């Protein structure tokens, strides 16, 4: 049986860590798994994903899928259509979270949200990644220019129409930087592909 004192102590521990912990972290901090499950069943904790819990009385997450992926796939980077949506560069509504992982890494496994996994290597993996704080959690997301270049790299898989919409939206935004965009296009080996479209827009 889980005591009231055990639950109160566990709540205090969660508050010390911004209200969110993995099962392994909670156990290391002295919270018994039985206490976690009792708190979940009582509605004190929300289970964001397998082994990831958050205090239910915190304000709702504004980006629950991106935050969950950032916490469960810490080496991953939100990319492509999900990054476009985050930066306001597409009208597409992502039905899965696009996440980049380093080539050679194992495919991340996550029950929810659904993932589309892409493997990046070299400079295409290292460059053009920003860290954005969402709901108090640092989330790694490709920058606007890098995301547009990536969309052209994966245009056959994801659709040239989405890449072109993103390019136009990027041009129309205050952060348009042709030099930066061409830099990432060269890294993604799509400089010759993107240039005619870019010249037509400007």
**Per-residue 3-state assignment (H helix, E strand, C coil) for the chain:** CCCHHHHHHHHHHHHHCCCEEEHHHHHHCCCCHHHHHHHHHCCCEEEEECCEEEECCCCCCCCHHHHHHHHHCCCCEECHHHHHHHHCCCCCCCCCEEEEEECCCCCCCCCCCCEEEEEECHHHHHCCEEEEEECCEEEEEECHHHHHHHHHHCHHHHCHHHHHHHHHHHHHCCCCCHHHHHHHHHHCCCHHHHHHHHHHHC
Q: pTM for this one? A: 0.77
Task: Identify the band that residue 68 occupies on the pLDDT scale cut at 50, 70 and 90.
Answer: confident
How much is the pLDDT for 60? 76
Check residues 74 and 99 and name the one with the higher pLDDT: 99
How much is the pLDDT for 181? 92
8 pLDDT exceeds 70?
A: yes
Domain residue limits, the chain: 4-55, 64-201
Strands ordered across the beta sheet of 52-55: 20-22, 52-55, 45-49
Q: What is the pLDDT of residues 85-94, one digit of tens each?
A: 999 999 988 8
Quote the mean pLDDT of the chain. Answer: 89
Task: Identify the band that residue 202 occupies on the pLDDT scale cut at 50, 70 and 90.
Answer: low
Check residues 159 and 113 and name the one with the higher pLDDT: 159
What are the structure tokens assigned to 120, written together? 């990046």
How much is the pLDDT for 167? 94
Q: What is the pLDDT of residues 30-62, one digit of tens each?
A: 899 889 889 988 888 888 777 788 888 888 767
Query: Taking the mean position of all CA atoms in its chain, how far away is CA 4?
Result: 36
160 pLDDT exceeds 90?
A: yes
Task: Identify the band that residue 168 occupies on the pLDDT scale cut at 50, 70 and 90.
Answer: very high
Q: Which residues contact 195 (CB under 8 A, 6 or more apart)?
A: 182, 185
189 pLDDT exceeds 70?
A: yes
């Amino acid at each position: 049986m889980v005591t009231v004192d055990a639950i109160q102590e566990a709540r205090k521990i969660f508050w010390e860590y911004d209200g969110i912990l993995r099962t392994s972290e909670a156990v290391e901090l002295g919270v018994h798994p039985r206490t976690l499950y009792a708190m979940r069943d009582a509605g004190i904790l929300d289970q964001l994903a397998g082994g990831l819990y958050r205090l239910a009385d915190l304000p709702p997450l504004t980006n629950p899928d991106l935050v969950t992926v950032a916490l469960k796939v810490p080496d991953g980077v939100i990319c492509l259509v999900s990054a476009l949506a985050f930066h306001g560069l597409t009208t597409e509504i992502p039905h899965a979270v696009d996440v980049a992982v380093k080539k050679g890494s194992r495919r991340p496994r996550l029950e929810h949200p659904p993932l589309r996994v892409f493997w990046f290597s070299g400079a295409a993996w290292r460059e053009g990644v920003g860290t954005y704080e969402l709901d108090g959690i640092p989330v790694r997301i490709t920058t606007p220019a890098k995301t547009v270049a990536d969309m052209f790299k994966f245009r056959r898989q994801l659709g040239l129409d989405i890449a072109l919409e993103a390019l136009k939206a990027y041009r129309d935004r205050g952060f348009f930087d042709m030099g930066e965009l061409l830099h990432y296009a060269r890294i993604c080996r799509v400089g010759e592909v993107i240039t005619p479209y870019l010249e037509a827009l400007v």
